[in-house]
Each structure stands twice: as structure tokens, then as C-alpha cells.
Amino acid sequence: MAALVETMNAMAPSNMPYTPELGAQIATEFQNRKDDGTAYASALAYVDSFVQYVKILDQEMNRPVGDSTAFVMAKYGQPIISSSNPNIGAYIASRLEQASQ
């Protein structure tokens, strides 16, 4: 989570409104730096873990808990929800939405 806060504060500070274009820029930056061993790589791994968990619940286990996104966020999302940068939650929500389509 610390790596995610660090990288999101650099790319999308809390005073910057979240837009789909900003989300695309964040995703591109993460992909460009996913193997560089920096905080960006760690942050992407953190975000991807949420996405993968939801995908497994939805696609492989046929939604055994109802709304998989709500379940995952309720169980593990408190650091994201309580973050001082709302763009973190917005970005993860957008990634979860994309994954469920």
C-alpha cells in the first residue's frame, strides 16, 4: 500500500480530479514501469492482486459471495478507502470495473 500511495501521489495527487483519461495515463505508466523494480512495480502488483481476486471469484468460482468487488473491498480495502488520496480508490474501482466486463 505504501508503494501505491507513493506512486499515485506522484501521478494523481489528491487535488487532481479523477477522469477516465487520468486512469488511462496511470495504467500506461504502471505498464511501462512494471518490471523496473521500483515502487511502481510494487504498486501495480498490489492493484493487480485486487483485480485477480475479483476475477477468480467471478469467473472461476461463479460469484460464491454475491458481489465480488464489494466482498473484496470490504475484506481488504480499508487502507484504500481510508487513504487521503481518493484517486487511489477511483483507479482501483475503474480497474475492477474493467475486469468484470
pLDDT in tens, 24-61: 999 999 999 989 989 999 999 999 999 999 999 988 99
What is the model's pTM? 0.87
pLDDT given for residue 85 in this prediction: 97
Give 66-86 as a DSSP string.
Answer: SSHHHHHHHHH-HHHHT-S-H
Q: Report how far residue 87's alpha carbon sits from residue 52's, in angstroms, rounded to the nearest whole number.
A: 20
What's the burial of 80, exposed, middle or buried (CB within 10 Å: 0-12/13-18/19+)?
A: buried
Kindly state the cell numbers that stand for 52: 485477480
Domain residues of the chain, as ranges? 2-99
